[in-house]
């Protein structure tokens, strides 16, 4: 059984929100951000007080093929997360991003790259995607929530979607809206979100002796995940590594993990820990690049093993 929803670009007041609720609507989708069509914390409160369930949209453009790249997905997710926190959106609810044009087969790689950027970056909220039937089918099982538009869908409706936008630009209670069938719980504020993707469990604490001096960032990691692994806060990692912007790290970047910087006096020998490399150790101890290769000619630096003893002098 479907439930009535709508989306609109008009800011809602207590009166207009109540009028739309009285007109039979249960859900409203509104825009995150900072423009004429976006909502703030005060409007969110008004919407919820009249009994409408609020759904967040993140869309600035997204209406042409060249928009959708992995880099744009990362940027959009970062901005959406920041805006969602500013208006008090509950953690675990959905943010819907848009693919707002007639997608052809030649555009699909960009769409999938964009989704990859969203998934790798959005941490506290669930990823929803808006688009045509072919988009819904292409991203099935790749996002948490699906919102299909009737535009460019040729009458087809995917069976796994949460929302179906079936009529555009109609006036109800004096407000221009698009009408939506809500087919499944769409990740609205205050509702229990049940995503298909599994949320990673916190990494178990590891022993101090097993913590490397340096951690090499891998794709998809952020300071929250790295800090959880080693028992450090984001502030700890930012200070240890002199990071001007803790939100910006990159795959392959070495990050200092140990709270205490080794003394200037180097030990005669060192026991290799998981993740150590000659280059990282030389950097930590202030050694000239190539020193450890020279003093350990019998050691293959590409095959270091935890527990292996090397000379430092």
Q: What is the pLDDT of residues 235-266, one digit of tens each?
A: 888 888 888 777 778 877 888 887 544 444 56
Q: Locate the DSSP E strands across 32-120.
A: 53-58, 94-98
Please identify which residue in the block is written with the tokens 């993140």: 58
- Cβ–Cβ under 8 Å, residues 179 and 3: no
Is residue 193 scored above 80 in pLDDT? no
pLDDT at position 262 is 45
The pLDDT of residue 206 is: 55
Contact criterion met (CB below 8 Å) for 92 and 193: yes
Report the greatest alpha carbon distance in the chain. Answer: 81
Of residues 305 and 175, which shows the higher confidence score?
175
Residue with tokens 């500013």: 86
Summarised one tens digit per residue, pLDDT across range 124-171 is 999 999 999 999 999 999 999 999 999 999 999 999 999 999 999 999
Judge whether 3-182 and 208-311 match in fold.
no
pTM for the complete prediction? Answer: 0.63
Which residue's structure tokens are 């093929």?
65
Q: Residue ranges of the domains in the chain?
A: 3-182, 208-311
pLDDT at 36 over 50: yes
- Please state which CATH class domain 208-311 belongs to: alpha beta
| Superfamily for the 3-182 domain | Glycosidases (3.20.20.80)
């Amino acid at each position: 059984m479907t439930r009535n929803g709508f989306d609109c670009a008009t800011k809602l007041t207590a009166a207009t929100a109540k009028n739309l609720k009285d007109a039979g609507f249960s859900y409203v989708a509104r825009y995150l951000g900072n423009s004429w069509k976006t909502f703030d914390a005060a409007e969110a409160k008004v919407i919820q007080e009249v009994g409408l369930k609020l759904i967040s949209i993140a869309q600035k453009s997204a209406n042409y093929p060249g928009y959708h790249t992995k880099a744009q997905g990362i940027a959009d997710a970062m901005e959406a997360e920041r805006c969602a926190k500013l208006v008090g959106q509950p953690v675990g609810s959905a943010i819907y991003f848009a693919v707002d044009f007639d997608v052809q087969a030649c555009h699909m790689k960009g769409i999938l790259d964009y989704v990859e950027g969203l998934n790798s970056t959005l941490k506290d909220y669930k990823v929803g995607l808006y688009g045509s039937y072919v988009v819904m089918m292409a991203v099935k099982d790749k996002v948490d929530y699906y919102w299909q538009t009737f535009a460019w869908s040729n009458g087809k409706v995917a069976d796994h979607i949460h929302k179906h936008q079936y009529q555009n630009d109609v006036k109800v209670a004096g407000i221009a809206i698009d009408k939506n069938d809500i087919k499944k719980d769409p990740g609205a504020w205050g509702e229990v979100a049940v995503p298909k993707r599994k949320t990673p469990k916190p990494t178990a604490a590891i022993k101090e002796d097993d913590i490397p001096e340096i951690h090499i960032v891998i794709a998809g990691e952020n300071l929250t995940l790295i800090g959880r692994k080693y028992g450090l806060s984001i502030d700890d990692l930012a200070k240890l590594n002199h990071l001007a912007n803790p939100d910006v790290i990159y795959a392959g970047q070495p990050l200092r993990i140990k709270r205490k910087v080794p003394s200037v006096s180097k030990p005669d020998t060192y026991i290799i820990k998981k993740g150590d490399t000659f280059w990282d150790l030389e950097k930590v101890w202030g050694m000239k690049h190539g020193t450890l290769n020279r003093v350990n000619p019998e050691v293959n630096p590409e095959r270091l093993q935890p527990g292996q003893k090397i000379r430092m002098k």
